[in-house]
Amino acid sequence: MSKPSAKELLIYIEKKIKNGDYKDSVHKITLMTTRNVIQKILEEEL
């Protein structure tokens, strides 16, 4: 199995947030923070 690209990872995280596929509110916030960090890196560095 190949490693996912950053865009594929963002899609995966967005889907988990949208579908409520997280353990609790802390996990949701962690997913949202991760998504924001990846987006910021992509915008600034690539």
DSSP, res 22? S
The pLDDT of residue 46: 67
Q: Is residue 1 a part of any domain in this protein? A: no
Q: Is residue 40 a part of any domain in this protein? A: yes
Which residues 6+ apart lie within 8 Å of 22 measured at CB?
A: 16, 28, 31
Q: Is residue 11 a part of any domain in this protein? A: yes
Q: What is the tens place of the pLDDT at every residue in 1-46?
A: 689 999 999 999 999 999 999 999 999 999 999 999 999 999 998 6
The boundaries of the domain holding residue 36 are 6-45
The pLDDT of residue 33: 98
Q: Is residue 16 a part of any domain in this protein? A: yes
